[in-house]
Each structure stands twice: as structure tokens, then as C-alpha cells.
Amino acid sequence: MSLSDQALAQQVENAIAADIRVAGLPIVVRAADGEISIKGVVDTMTQKELVHAIVQGIQGVKRVTMVELIVREEITD
């Protein structure tokens, strides 16, 4: 991961942590050439959509992949 990728990943992590609705959830961010990959667990589909919106709104993000971001309510249903 290049320095700019590290900076972008850090910016994404900070943005997620700054939103009380998703702060503290077990989410891992990776960046490569402006493409962000998110994995972890959220409680609801609304939170997953919110994470996507937060990440998409960050300058420098070209694409967001969240295939590995699992919604807990889907696991228990």
C-alpha cells in the first residue's frame, strides 16, 4: 500500500469513526489506487448504506467495494 493509499484509508477510517451511527463497529478499511474495500460487521442494512455513503463522499475515492461487510441482522434471521 502506497503512502497515498495509506492516507486515503486513514481518511476513510476517520470519517467512519466520526459518525456516531457507525463509530465503533468492527470495520477494516483497505485502499489501493483510490479503490476502497471495506470488511467487517454492521448491525443493520441502514448502517451498511451509511458506510457506503460516507466513503463515497470522500475526495479521492474512485470505487467502494463492500462485499465483505456483513449485516448482522441478516445473520440472525
The DSSP output letter for 26 is -
**Cell, residue 3:** 503512502
Q: Which three cell numbers stand for residue 54?
A: 460516507
* Containing structural domain, residue 52: 3-76
Domain count, the chain: 1
CATH number reported for the structural domain that contains residue 28 in this entry: 3.30.1340.30
The grid coordinates listed for 47 are 448502517
72: Cβ–Cβ under 8 A, 6 or more apart, which residues? Answer: 41, 42, 43, 44
Tell me, yes or no, if the pTM score tops 0.85.
Answer: yes
Q: In one letter, which amino acid is 6?
A: Q
pLDDT by position in tens, the chain (length 77): 666 999 999 999 999 999 999 999 999 999 999 999 999 999 999 999 999 999 999 999 999 999 999 998 776 55
